[in-house]
Amino acid sequence: MKKIVLTFGLLSGLIISGMFVLTIPLMDGMSFEQGAVVGYASMLAASLLIYFGIRSYRDNVGGGVVRFGRAFAVGILIVTVSNVLYVATWKVVHPRFMPDFYQKYEAAAIEKARARNAPEKEIEDIKKSIVMYQHPILNPLITFLEPMPVGLLVTLISAWVLSRRRQPV
């Protein structure tokens, strides 16, 4: 199981990290909303390897059969490896190529909130969340959790599809 998890997790992590690095030059011409769409699309593309990793486990280790719990475990471990690589990429790329990311994000979020006449408390909350995100311990944890919903959803669907009992034809 370890080889399958590492192989598919690293491949998934390379896709998500590679797309992140490749889109850095485009960030100046993109809104944060557009960046989020591109980011989550690359997360979804990278998460497709979860399906193939679980299927590889089922076919090569499980003899063509895998229960939901084991399939879920394989999938979530692939997500974990992928997310660790994503965090490592962020920690290397952010200070070198995007040192003003937090300031730009905060300004854009506050501008958007003010445009819709948000209460001042919401603007203060935005400022607090940016400060929290810059915390050296919380930053990697929050970054790790960014792709988690996509990976979790793909893991659940893949584990369900690949572990269903098939009726003989």
- 58 by Cβ neighbours in 10 Å (0-12 / 13-18 / 19+) ranks as buried
What pLDDT is stored for residue 133 in this prediction?
87
- The answer to whether the CB of 86 falls within 8 A of the CB of 147 is yes
Q: What is the pLDDT of residues 31-76, one digit of tens each?
A: 888 888 888 899 999 999 999 999 999 999 988 899 999 999 999 9
Q: What is the pLDDT of residues 3-39, one digit of tens each?
A: 999 999 999 999 999 998 888 887 777 788 888 888 8
Distance CA 20, CA 90 (A): 9
pTM: 0.86
Query: Which residues, 6+ apart, have CB-to-CB distance to 100 below 8 Å?
Result: none
How many residues comprise the chain? 169
